[in-house]
Amino acid sequence: MRIERIEFEIVEIPRRKMFVIATGSSDRYTGVIVKLHTDGGIVGVGEASPSRGVTGETPETVCALLPEIEKKIKGLHIEEYEKIRERLNSIKGNSAAKAGVEIAINDALGKEAGLPVAKLLGLYRERIPTSITIGIESREETLKDAERLLGEGAKVLKVKIGLNWMEDIERLKALRERFGYGFRIRVDANQGYSVKTAIKVVREIEPLDIEFIEQPVKWYDVAGLAEVTRASPIPVMADEAVHDADDLLKLAKARACDMVNIKLMKCGGIREAYLIAHLAERLGMECMIGCMSETRVGISAGTHAALGIKNIHYADLDGHIDLEGDVVKEGGVKTENGENSVPMHLPGIGCGL
Ligand SMILES: [Mg+2]
């Protein structure tokens, strides 16, 4: 089945509430939905969720690149994945745009085979607990949100930190004081701390049973990340510092982290995520599949990856939850009682638009 053309559309969806992290704030999501048409009538669906700060992309750069990608892969069979990958990788950077196309290729391959992507990858689990994220907000707001989320069945909360370390510690202490230890907490500083502050914070929050801390210091400060990792009593997970397998090798060499947050938008798609996860397994590192703000197209793709790859021990696949609406009208990821699953009777990523 040959690739004929790539259709794409910018979507803009408001959030239920303003979302604040250490690097900025936003009240809406803007991304690009990709449809890959084949001559056999199968249409693969994907999503590019660009992030200026992390992938260096905007919806406009994605839309400018997609016709270039179309030129490069037009006429190839969707089964010629390695050739498609070779051509995608001939483009530097632009990982979210490439992920949008790569997800659509996987969706089309699944539809052709009559199998969900999770099964094509190597189905390891049927569902996975996902963290639900609480942005940087006041102690009272944090408690209010946690009460609602735990009431809805959340098993893991991911608390954003990194703007004010004293308030961060207070919010985390308040969560345990109010709600106890019957749920998991992980934290994400989004590069917001200095090395010294990060070490102080991880030592302070260690008694609060924190699962891990994501990216405490700047993405480029590999030596700093290594220093925090050496000093930290809780595992340190690299996020912004690891986009692809080469980054992982660099960090592993410097013993700079214990774990890795893999995102389809950072690495360029589902099979790149598979590659990083398997490399990390050899290096003795557990992985999480995380996400950007994404509709249920991107989150479904991420969930298929999380279910299909053994070395994915954690999921942070909640980017769709605080959006006011969605492009997926049927099928796709389901988040119930704090766990993500996908319909195994639907082929590809299983999203009907
Ligand atoms: Mg993160």
Active site residue 329: no
| 114 touches 294 (CB < 8 A) | no
| 101 touches 69 (CB < 8 A) | yes
Name the fold adopted by 3-114.
Enolase-like; domain 1 (3.30.390)
SS3 content of the chain, % helix, strand, coil (to 5): 40, 25, 35
Q: How far apart are CA 298 and CA 296, in angstroms?
A: 6
Report the separation in Å between the CA atom of 332 and the middle of ligand 1, taken as the mean of its atom positions. 24
How much is the mean pLDDT over the chain? 98
The kind and range of the H/E element at 280 are: helix 270-282
Report the separation in Å between the CA atom of 3 and the middle of ligand 1, taken as the mean of its atom positions. 34
Question: Tokens 């990788």 label which residue?
Answer: 89
Query: Of 263, 310, 329, 334, which one is the catalytic site residue?
Result: 263
Q: Which listed CATH number (3.40.50.720, 3.50.50.60, 3.10.450.350, 3.20.20.120) goes with 119-352? A: 3.20.20.120
pLDDT number for residue 81: 98
pLDDT number for residue 113: 98
Q: Phi/psi of residue 97, each to 5°?
A: -60, -45
Report the separation in Å between the CA atom of 215 and the middle of ligand 1, taken as the mean of its atom positions. 6
Q: How far apart are CA 55 and CA 243, in angstroms?
A: 9
Q: Read off the pLDDT of residues 306-335 as tens digits, 9 standing for 90 and up.
A: 999 999 999 999 999 999 999 999 999 999
pLDDT number for residue 153: 97
8-state DSSP, 207: G
Q: Read off the pLDDT of residues 27-69 as tens digits, 9 standing for 90 and up.
A: 999 999 999 999 999 999 999 999 999 999 999 999 999 999 9
Q: How far apart are CA 195 and CA 18, in angstroms?
A: 28
CA distance readout (Å), 73 to 45, 150, 167, 198: 16, 46, 50, 45
Question: Tokens 């639900």 label which residue?
Answer: 132
Q: Which of 336, 343, 335, 287 is nearest to 315 (CA)?
A: 287
List the structure tokens of 108. 């089309």
Same fold? 3-114, 119-352 = no
Active site residue 173: no
Report the separation in Å between the CA atom of 41 and the middle of ligand 1, taken as the mean of its atom positions. 38
Report the separation in Å between the CA atom of 263 and the middle of ligand 1, taken as the mean of its atom positions. 9
Q: State whether residue 70 is helix, strand or coil.
A: helix
Report the separation in Å between the CA atom of 240 and the middle of ligand 1, taken as the mean of its atom positions. 7
List the structure tokens of 175. 């969560």
State mean pLDDT over 140-157: 98
Q: How far apart are CA 211 and CA 172, in angstroms?
A: 12
pLDDT bracket for residue 266 (50, 70, 90): very high
8-state DSSP, 12: E
Report the separation in Å between the CA atom of 4 and the middle of ligand 1, taken as the mean of its atom positions. 36
pLDDT number for residue 130: 98
pLDDT number for residue 240: 98
Report the separation in Å between the CA atom of 214 and the middle of ligand 1, taken as the mean of its atom positions. 6
Instruction: Using a pLDDT cut of 70, give the percent of the chain over it.
Output: 100
Q: Which residues contact 64 (CB under 8 A, 6 or more apart)?
A: none
pLDDT bracket for residue 20 (50, 70, 90): very high
pLDDT number for residue 319: 96
List the structure tokens of 149. 């989320």
Report the separation in Å between the CA atom of 7 and the middle of ligand 1, taken as the mean of its atom positions. 30
What are the domain boundaries of the chain?
Answer: 3-114, 119-352
Q: Read off the pLDDT of residues 163-211 as tens digits, 9 standing for 90 and up.
A: 999 999 999 999 999 999 999 999 999 999 999 999 999 999 999 999 9
Query: Of 98, 111, 160, 266, which one is the catalytic site residue?
Result: 160
Q: How far apart are CA 51 and CA 48, in angstroms?
A: 10
When computed from its CA atoms, the radius of gyration of the chain, rounded to whole angstroms, is 19
Q: Read off the pLDDT of residues 73-128 as tens digits, 9 standing for 90 and up.
A: 999 999 999 999 999 999 999 999 999 999 999 999 999 999 999 999 999 999 99
Report the separation in Å between the CA atom of 198 and the middle of ligand 1, taken as the mean of its atom positions. 15
From its phi and psi, is residue 266 left (phi > 0), alpha (psi between -120 and 50) or beta?
alpha
User: In sequence order, what are the beta bridge partners of 236?
Assistant: 213
Q: What is the largest CA-CA distance in the chain?
A: 60
Inter-axis angle of helices 95-113 and 296-308, to 10 degrees? Answer: 70
pLDDT number for residue 145: 98
pTM of the model: 0.98
